[in-house]
Structure 1
Amino acid sequence: MSGSPASTHVLLSEYEQAIAPTDRFEDSEVTPILLGLFGEVGSVMSTSKKLHREKAAFTGFRRDVEEELGDTLWYVAALCRRLDLKLSDMFAQVLGGNSYAVSIAANADPTHPFAQVMTANDIAPLDAVLLRLGEQAANLLSLDITADTAKEQVLSFVRVYIDAVHAADVSFSAVLSSNMAKACGRFIAPNAHDLPDFDAHFPAEEQLPRHFEIEISQRANGLSYLRWNGVFIGDPLSDKIADEDGYRFHDVFHFANAAILHWSPTFRALIKHKRRSMRSVAEAQDSGRAIVIDEGLSAYIFSYAKFVNFFEDQKTVSFDLLKAVCNFVRGYEVETCPLYQWEHAILQGYEVFREVRKNNGGVIVGNRDERTLRYKSAGKQA
């Protein structure tokens, strides 16, 4: 999910090709693209505002501005496709002007041994550039894609966008790489063989089970109980809130994470399958702090889910929620899971949760090989 480390160089043509399948708007839809572009420019400006307000306390400035510049470029690329223009051509035309000094550089990549390095002759302060970027974004709102001036309007925006990248002092390679990883991870189904399996090389007794059935039951005292392989695991749970909402069954979400993401420190702790053969992994990925992250994430998503009827009849999950999940797990092994996979874990987990809540229990069937979670009634054969 976090993506691969940024390459030393990324071809803009490769970026265009990679993100094109992530564009889910109709080819005829231009207004949503323009609105999205305007909104992302506003997000870039907001990042600078936060830097002014919070100063040194805003330690995430570089990461945030890289992300917002990447999101902005995604919409520029989408607009170019609708104008039958190539993003790389737009950049080449701007960078070929007199505002940039050109140097020839030796490249470490043997397939591209030489490269042109463009350096702006004069870089304005970031705030001044962002105000100009906002003006150009506003001008695009009245864009007529059939007009002869459409290309020039896009070029004017790209020109100021390039200035913004310079003024922000960020790696453009990181901007492209991160945006590709985020967009593709969100909208493109991953190859199953490319998905991480965090304990495949550990002893069987330290792995999350490949297949599992866990019975959840609620007794007359209102508490829920878990039983795996005939043995009760964990502590009995209540909702721990004035208005009952079913959170006593929230372990379903840990089981979904285990089956679909191959990750759940909470589930590992419940069945005592920590990866103790490698102390660094056991301490950093399977113990107290990681368990808190797992539990906290479950509670965070649940607080959102309550307001959308626990995702009933929903085929997708809000991109904003998925990005929040990404931030929540940063620094832990599961950050390498694409957002697409997180979406499946959330939707499958809540599909099963709704059944458990409706029936006050049931059997949770997880299959890590197929990365699925399903519900069956207690006492019913698989």
Structure 2
Amino acid sequence: MSGSIPLCEYERLIKETDRFEEDVITPILLGLYGEVGSIMSASKKYHREKQAYIGYKEAVEEEFGDALWYFTALCRRVSLNISEVFDEATIRSLSKLISANDQEHAPISQLIFAENAESLDASLLELGYIAAQLLKVDVNSDDGRKTLVAFARVYVQALQTTKLSFAKVIKGNVKKTFGRFSKPVIENLPDFDVFFPEEEQLPRYFEIYISERKSGQSYMRWNGVFIGSPLTDNIKNPDGYRFHDVFHFAYAAILHWSPTFRALIKHKRKSDPFYDEAQDSGRAIVVEEGLTAWIYSYSKGLNYFDGHDGVSFDVLKTIQKFIQGYEVEECPLKLWEDAILQGYSVFRKVKDNNGGIVIGDREKRTLKYRAIGEENEG
């Protein structure tokens, strides 16, 4: 999407990301109220920390986008579309500027703005107040409709005083929600080394044999050759982290990314100095290892995701921050969720059996387990 985006188009796009039941309203109201609170919280941090809060603008853009998502879902449930609501909100209370448009099929556009916009604090306080009013009013009533219109009006004013691009907020929210909730189409997913020679690619299909010796160290073999170093848990109370390379194999098979795995099998993309330095070397490896250790610490409180069919959105958003600047940021969050769940499913089996065969298939984007000695995949 480039340039402006009609609100009706945004509404159409994000409808399929709404996983709530159609007649459910309370969770939507609470979600909207929570997101408005997050906008106010991000603003507070900015005022307190000034330039030290580097992520202020991005954080507020994201929260404004999330608030719009819930507001749109709420309007849908009371048979209103947000184009009508925002249009009604801007009829009297906001000023309009008629402009020549550069679109051939739409020669005229309107610019909506508040001539005497309130301060940022005042706008956000009013936004919070109206969000609270929505919790009290029957949103299906006339008063409910008026409150929805009032929310849209103050939302526009708050955007203006926060100096954010509404189009950027919308596009960011569409990208985020589709990346989180929509099942990826394999054919449309990135393949980061497809144009490199085979010896510089992550293997398209691999079987890694993992075994544990009496010393408690784990060993790995690929194509009959030992790779990596023998590992222990390196912690006072053993927790199975000696088998954590399973997660790197999951990233390789499902995300088509793992600087660590590339280093283990010496498949760095040395034919291109940029990729060799920026994507496959020390810092990228440290990022992957750090991210893996952080997720592992988190997973211990969840029994290593046993019985889970999803990963917390907060965890996925943290991952998104970890990987900024690296090629894997092109992968949607839903694919990260798949990589984590598949990786931990295999890890639990490896841990329970003190080894096994880890089978990665990049074409199918899957990771599976087979016990040593078994002929068929388990």
Alignment of 1:17-96 (within 5 A): 17-96=12-91
> What is the Cα deviation at residue 28 of structure 1?
1.4
Amino acid at match of 2:303: N
Flag the 1:111–1:206 CA change in 2: closer, same or farther, 3 A.
farther
> Contact between 1:7 and 1:173, CA under 8 Å: does it hold in 2?
no
Alignment of 1:272-351 (within 5 A): 272-351=266-345
Amino acid at match of 2:25: V
Deviations 1:355-380 (A, max 9, x none): 00000000000000000000001122
Amino acid at match of 1:136: I
- Please state if 1:102 is matched with 2:94: no
> Contact between 2:98 and 2:108, CA under 8 Å: does it hold in 1?
no
**1:373 corresponds to which residue?**
367
Secondary structure of the residue that 2:267 maps to in structure 1? coil
> Contact between 1:103 and 1:118, CA under 8 Å: does it hold in 2?
no
Secondary structure of the residue that 2:257 maps to in structure 1? coil
- Please state if 1:203 is matched with 2:206: no
Amino acid at match of 2:54: T
> What is the Cα deviation at residue 29 of structure 1?
1.0
Amino acid at match of 2:57: R
Amino acid at match of 1:88: S
4+ runs deviating over 4 angstroms: none
Alignment of 1:177-216 (within 5 A): 177-216=171-210
Q: Distance in 2 between matches of 1:118 and 1:99?
A: 7
> Contact between 2:93 and 2:153, CA under 8 Å: does it hold in 1?
no
- Please state if 1:126 is matched with 2:120: yes
Q: Distance in 1 between matches of 2:141 and 2:211?
A: 66
Secondary structure of the residue that 1:364 maps to in structure 2? strand
Q: Distance in 1 between matches of 2:299 and 2:42?
A: 28
> Contact between 1:140 and 1:153, CA under 8 Å: does it hold in 2?
yes
**1:171 corresponds to which residue?**
165
Amino acid at match of 2:289: E
Amino acid at match of 1:244: P
Flag the 1:151–1:224 CA change in 2: closer, same or farther, 3 A.
same
Q: Distance in 2 between matches of 1:204 and 1:46?
A: 49
Secondary structure of the residue that 1:322 maps to in structure 2? helix
Amino acid at match of 1:80: C
Amino acid at match of 2:60: V
Q: Distance in 2 between matches of 1:350 and 1:365?
A: 13
> What is the Cα deviation at residue 94 of structure 1?
1.6
Q: Distance in 2 between matches of 1:248 and 1:190?
A: 31
Deviates more, 1:33-42 or 1:143-152: 143-152
> Contact between 1:77 and 1:87, CA under 8 Å: does it hold in 2?
yes
Q: How many residues align?
A: 376
Percentage of identical aligned residues: 55
> What is the Cα deviation at residue 116 of structure 1?
1.7
**1:12 corresponds to which residue?**
7
Q: Distance in 2 between matches of 1:308 and 1:116?
A: 51
Deviates more, 1:240-249 or 1:109-118: 109-118
> What is the Cα deviation at residue 281 of structure 1?
1.1
Q: Distance in 1 between matches of 2:46 and 2:136?
A: 31
TM value normalised by structure 1: 0.96
Alignment of 1:233-272 (within 5 A): 233-272=227-266
Among 116, 136, 147, the alignment partner of 1:142 is: 136
Q: Distance in 2 between matches of 1:162 and 1:105?
A: 22
Structure 2, unaligned stretches of length 5 or more?
Answer: none
Deviations 1:56-101 (A, max 9, x none): 1111111111000000000000100111000111112222325213
Amino acid at match of 2:288: D
> What is the Cα deviation at residue 277 of structure 1?
1.1
Secondary structure of the residue that 2:142 maps to in structure 1? coil
> What is the Cα deviation at residue 113 of structure 1?
4.1
Among 107, 111, 123, the alignment partner of 1:117 is: 111
Q: Distance in 1 between matches of 2:348 and 2:26?
A: 37
Q: Distance in 2 between matches of 1:122 and 1:14?
A: 30
Please report the RMSD computed on the Cα atoms of aligned residues, expressed in angstroms. 1.1
**2:220 corresponds to which residue?**
226
TM value normalised by structure 2: 0.97
